[in-house]
């Protein structure tokens, strides 16, 4: 028996309005809590292609940045080792000058420190970072410098110690931009430094003035070359730094582009939520009042 007042179509429209407001309210609440417009590409279909391209490029940019950061850390370690090698060369040069100037130096006085400096030089060239020996070319798993205990060519550069290869490592720092950053221990300046240290040690022990003079000449030749190697490392760091600046700007641009598609405007979403809640409350109140009306109520 019909006891309620209301038109079926009108009731359906009110119900649809209420359900729509409920759905929008739930969706907006999720947007506000997550900060995202949608969680499916289907929900941003019109911009999905642009979003996918931007995310793909951003992923490549971030990979370049990660690789460059790792290479920069390696370069920092290499630069530090070269700085220490320069200090080693400078120190043995001072000791040799003092030894030669003294004229009647006691044999063996300089030898202990010369021996420590030789070991330090080898250790700096064997420096490792993250399990990789940095001056070994591509043979990064083994120390590149092994001093030959039978070495006897005192007064000449030592080119017998290198165990690595001649591969110069490089990094793809950006699209189409590859930078060679590797440096091997098989360089003239290093040969001269190690040869000078060995000659200094042997010359002091045997009190051989000519050998001490040869040692001084070798070290004097090595120092400017090692300084140049440091400059080369610094130039590569600067090049990577410039590339990373550009990558950082690209990252910000892409993140802004992606955010413009994905991220919700919180203030606008809160306004929408408030409006939909008002609509929902009004429609629910209307439905509640209509459900309570009878024919008798209508005829009064």
Q: List pLDDT tens digits, range 139-191.
A: 999 999 999 999 999 999 999 999 999 999 999 999 989 999 989 999 999 99
Instruction: Work out the angle at residue 138's Cα, subtended by the Cα atoms of residues 224 and 195, and round it to the nearest 5 degrees.
Output: 35
Least-confidence region, from 108-112, 207-211, 264-268: 264-268
Q: 252: which residues sit within 8 A by CB, 6+ positions away?
A: none
pLDDT of residue 113: 96
pLDDT at site 1: 39
Task: Say which CATH topology domain 66-257 has.
Answer: f41 fragment of flagellin, N-terminal domain (1.20.1330)
Cα–Cα dist 132/260, whole Å:
42
Q: Show me where the domains of the chain are located.
A: 8-35+264-299, 66-257
Please tell me the distance from the alpha carbon of residue 111 to that of residue 105, in angstroms, as a whole number. 12
pLDDT, tens only, 100-145: 987 656 788 899 999 999 999 999 999 999 999 999 999 999 999 9
**What does pTM read for this prediction?**
0.73
């Amino acid at each position: 028996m019909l006891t309620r007042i209301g038109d079926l179509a009108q009731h359906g429209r009110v119900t649809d309005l209420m359900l729509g407001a409920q759905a929008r309210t739930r969706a907006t609440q999720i947007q506000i809590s997550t900060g995202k417009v949608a969680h499916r590409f289907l929900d941003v279909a019109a911009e999905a292609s642009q979003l996918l391209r931007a995310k793909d490029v951003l992923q490549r940019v971030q990979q370049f940045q990660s690789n460059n950061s790792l290479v920069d850390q390696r370069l920092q370690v290499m630069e530090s080792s070269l700085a220490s090698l320069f200090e080693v060369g400078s120190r043995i040069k001072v000791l040799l000058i003092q030894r030669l100037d003294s004229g009647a130096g006691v044999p063996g006085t300089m030898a202990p420190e010369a021996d420590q400096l030789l070991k330090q030089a080898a250790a700096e060239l064997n420096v490792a970072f993250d399990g990789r020996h940095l001056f070994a070319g591509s043979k990064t798993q083994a120390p590149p410098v092994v001093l030959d205990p039978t070495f006897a060519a005192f007064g000449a550069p030592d080119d017998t110690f290198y165990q690595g290869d001649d591969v110069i490592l490089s990094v793809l720092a950006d699209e189409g931009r590859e930078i060679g950053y590797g440096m091997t221990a098989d360089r003239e300046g290093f040969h001269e430094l190690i040869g000078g240290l060995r000659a200094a040690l042997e010359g002091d022990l045997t009190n051989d003035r000519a050998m001490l003079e040869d040692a001084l000449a070798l070290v004097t030749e090595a120092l400017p070359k090692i300084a140049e190697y440091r400059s080369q490392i610094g130039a590569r760091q600067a090049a990577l730094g410039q590339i990373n600046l550009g990558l950082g700007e690209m990252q910000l641009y892409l993140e802004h582009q992606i955010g413009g598609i994905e991220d919700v405007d919180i203030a606008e979403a809160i306004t929408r939520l408030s409006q939909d809640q008002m609509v929902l409350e009004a429609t629910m109140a209307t439905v509640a009042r209509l459900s309570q009306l009878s024919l008798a109520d209508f005829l009064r």
